[in-house]
Structure 1
């Protein structure tokens, strides 16, 4: 499990992930639910699939990836 505010370099499908806005390559990560309005309405949001959200350290742009598709390597201090 990642520590709070830990910074990572990330990759997916054998390619390093870079920010589409500023081309930064360091991210903070967290798990997010991919719930819809319908699942919220009927109380099933807790059963929605999860994704990994990466937030660029430089500009804050967020990108989402399917759970299990991203490799995270911690950046040393």
Structure 2
């Protein structure tokens, strides 16, 4: 997987991920926990599943994908 601060292009299910708002194809990414209110209340948030959040560098729209569903690659230098 690529470094967290690196700008990436992403693929899922054999297709390139494109932003649903602006059509951009480059993202910043980070891991996020899929917490629920109940798990937070009882102190089990650390055991919740993780996802990968992509943030479009053009418009800022965020999208989440299940952990392991994405293929992230370094974006070409412009």
Q: Are 1:70 and 2:73 counterparts?
A: no
Equivalence for 2:10 = 10
Q: Are 1:26 and 2:26 counterparts?
A: yes
User: After the TM superposition, which residues 41-60 of structure 1 pair with which residues of structure 2 at under 5 Å, given as runs?
Assistant: 41-60=41-60
Equivalence for 2:38 = 38
Q: CA deviation at 1:3?
A: 2.8
How many residue pairs are counted as aligned between the two chains?
Answer: 77
CA deviations over 1:17-64 (Å, ceiling 9, x no partner): 000010100001100000100000000001000000000000110000
Q: Which runs of 4+ in 1 moved over 3 A?
A: none
* DSSP 3-state at the match of 2:58: coil
Q: Which runs of 5+ in 1 are unaligned?
A: none
The CA RMSD over aligned residues, in Å, is 1.1
* DSSP 3-state at the match of 2:63: strand
Is the Cα contact below 8 Å between 2:2 and 2:72 reproduced in 1?
Answer: no
Distance 1:19 1:38 in 2: 32
